[in-house]
Amino acid sequence: MIRDIHIQVLVLGSGPAGYSAAFRSADLGLSTILVEKYNQLGGVCLNVGCIPSKFLLHIAKVIKESQEISKQGVVFSDPKIDFNLIKKNKDKIINTLSNGLKSLSKMRKVDIINGIGTFIDSKTVLVKNNKENIHIHFQDVIIATGSKPITLPNIPNDSNYIWNSTQALSLNTIPKKLLIIGSGIIGLEMATFYSAIGSKVDVIDRCDQVLPFLDQDIIKIFLKEIKNNFNILLGTNIDNIFVKDNQVFVTLSNKINKEKKIYDAILIAVGRIPNIKELSLDKIGVIVDKNNFIIVDDQFKTNIPNIYAIGDVIGQPMLAHKGIHQGHIVSEVISGYKHYFDPIAIPSVAYTDPEIAWVGIHENEAIKRNINYEVATFPWNASGRAIVSNCSNGITKLIINKDNRKVIGGILVGRQAGELLSEITLAIEMGCDIEDISLTIHPHPTLCESIGLTAQILQGTVTDLM
């Protein structure tokens, strides 16, 4: 028997995009149901993405800082890793936050239904779980089903040894030797964690540069800092790979060499694809692009009037805060507000050690786009706070449009760079002149002073320190 439910707004997927849309829809007075395939709310970000990875990176940072401080006169003994306790604590954090989402749903009277949603027609979704089948009839639906890791062809399917990011975060073993395929943000973050807890990590990428879209002066500092922690082999491909006797045998090749190597585990981190298979979008004719991302306009409308999509399932940048923002806008659009998604800048952070954080237009992009720009960098070895905190290797870089003196971009490398980025994001979003930042009094001694000082270099009130 099929149960029927009628509702104003149906949200498919409880990741950051989905729960934000569901909460805002309910706050705007719309009756709302949130459907989630898994028992836990929160999607990739909370369960197998942002939150567990940042917990592990926090551990990595503390280990590294405890090693560094020995040079300053405080010597700790070598860390003893209790992997089971780390895992328990990780799961506890996830459960606390996921239960928090449940409470927030309850407070707002957002009904949560467990199960996989599949379209029957443009007004009905079938939700199946192991107890029942439900037909949810809605006025509007928001698809927020997210994304999953790309798998590579010709790589054995053996989750004990060949991991994706979810398996890397499930903490089953500390591999003595770990190969990470892909030097994107996820690959680099996992390399940071596993090398800190004792794995010997190689990262390979077929590209010739790490994060090739970023400015090279920033990447150079990053590479110099991490070179004692893990190896990065660029312009490198995998020719052959097989699992035997609890080990993974790999042949790596670049333009010059071929090399056979043995690892205890391999992590594939080469990107993500949208979760659309179970939705049966073809049944209702929702248009997707060549990579299967759902095509939407700047109000998140698909080609079908009452069907909207947000978050990872509509494509890059695949970031939780982008999805959250979109979740709010789409609900406001459904409620009748004339709102659009038109951010001037979406910030990004690689939570490596040192962190890399960027927003707006980078220098190499400004060159490509023929923008009349001016740039200034402030080296953290001129920052008292960076020196006392043992992170003087960082830099802060700001870019302005020379024609109108507006801030158009910023990029930082250094410890806590991600925490410093919001000031630059706000400046870009508000259309600040560089003078606005240079006249803003920054507390001393802080790392964020470096932003004020970079602005003063651009204003000519401080001499260039580089």
Q: How far apart are the first and last CA of the chain?
A: 72
Which 415-434 positions form the footprint of ligand FAD (CB under 6 A)?
A: none
Say which amino acid occupies 464: D
**Residue 53 or 383 with smaller CB distance to ligand FAD:** 53
Tell which one of 60, 178, 294, 319 touches ligand FAD (CB under 6 A).
319
Determine if 284 is a binding residue for ligand FAD (CB under 6 A): no
> Could you tell me the smallest distance in angstroms from the CB atom of residue 118 to ligand FAD?
7
> Could you tell me the smallest distance in angstroms from the CB atom of residue 224 to ligand FAD?
24
444 is catalytic: yes
Strand partners, 125: 119, 136
**Residue 311 or 409 with smaller CB distance to ligand FAD:** 311
**Residue 42 or 452 with smaller CB distance to ligand FAD:** 42
Tell which one of 105, 165, 199, 236 touches ligand FAD (CB under 6 A).
165
Determine if 331 is a binding residue for ligand FAD (CB under 6 A): no
Part of the chain binding ligand FAD (CB under 6 A), chosen from 154-162, 235-243, 311-319, 332-340: 311-319
> Could you tell me the smallest distance in angstroms from the CB atom of residue 374 to ligand FAD?
30
Tell which one of 192, 275, 425, 456 touches ligand FAD (CB under 6 A).
275
| C-alpha–C-alpha distance, residues 202 and 228, integer Å | 12
**Residue 94 or 375 with smaller CB distance to ligand FAD:** 94
Say which amino acid occupies 211: L
With CA atoms as reference, report the closest residue to 259 among 232, 240, 234, 231.
Answer: 240
Is 43 annotated to bind ligand?
no
Is 315 annotated to bind ligand?
no
**Rama region for 330: left / alpha / beta (φ>0; ψ in -120 to 50; rest):** alpha
Determine if 309 is a binding residue for ligand FAD (CB under 6 A): no
**Residue 172 or 216 with smaller CB distance to ligand FAD:** 172
**Regarding beta strands 407-414 and 177-181, do their DSSP bridges make them parallel or antiparallel, or are they unpaired?**
unpaired
> Could you tell me the smallest distance in angstroms from the CB atom of residue 226 to ligand FAD?
18
Q: Which residues contact 211 (CB under 8 A, 6 or more apart)?
A: 183, 184, 185, 188, 219, 350, 356
Part of the chain binding ligand FAD (CB under 6 A), chosen from 11-19, 102-110, 171-179, 376-384: 11-19
Determine if 26 is a binding residue for ligand FAD (CB under 6 A): no
Which 116-155 positions form the footprint of ligand FAD (CB under 6 A)?
A: 116-117, 144-147
C-alpha dihedral (106, 110, 116, 117), degrees to nearest 10 = 180
> Could you tell me the smallest distance in angstroms from the CB atom of residue 405 to ligand FAD?
31
User: Is the bond preceding 354 in cis, omega lying within 30 degrees of 0?
Assistant: yes
Which 172-231 positions form the footprint of ligand FAD (CB under 6 A)?
A: 186
Part of the chain binding ligand FAD (CB under 6 A), chosen from 30-38, 354-362, 374-382, 400-408: 30-38
Look up residue 372 and give its two tokens.
């009349």
Look up residue 58 and give its two tokens.
């926090």
- Angle ∠(163,169,173) on CA atoms, nearest 5: 70
Determine if 347 is a binding residue for ligand FAD (CB under 6 A): no
With CA atoms as reference, report the closest residue to 454 among 375, 366, 388.
Answer: 375
Is 179 annotated to bind ligand?
no
Tell which one of 137, 206, 321, 442 touches ligand FAD (CB under 6 A).
321
Phi then psi dihedrals of residue 151, to 5 deg: -100, 155
**Rama region for 453: left / alpha / beta (φ>0; ψ in -120 to 50; rest):** alpha
Determine if 36 is a binding residue for ligand FAD (CB under 6 A): yes
| C-alpha–C-alpha distance, residues 438 and 133, integer Å | 61
Q: Which contacts qualify for 195-198: CB closer than 8 Å, 24 or more apart?
A: 195/60, 195/229, 195/230, 196/59, 196/60, 196/61, 196/63, 196/64, 196/229, 196/353, 197/59, 197/60, 197/63, 197/79, 197/81, 198/81, 198/174
Determine if 320 is a binding residue for ligand FAD (CB under 6 A): yes
Please, are residues 146 and 14 in contact by the beta-carbon 8 Å criterion?
Answer: no
> Could you tell me the smallest distance in angstroms from the CB atom of residue 48 to ligand FAD?
6
Tell which one of 9, 12, 252, 400 touches ligand FAD (CB under 6 A).
12
Q: Which residue is nearest to ligand FAD (CB)?
A: 146
Cα diameter, the chain: 76
Tell which one of 111, 264, 278, 436 touches ligand FAD (CB under 6 A).
278
Tell which one of 22, 25, 32, 43 touches ligand FAD (CB under 6 A).
43
Total chain residues near ligand FAD (CB under 6 A): 38
| C-alpha–C-alpha distance, residues 421 and 356, integer Å | 10
Annotated binding site for FAD: 54, 117, 145-147, 312, 318-321
Residue positions annotated with a catalytic role: 444
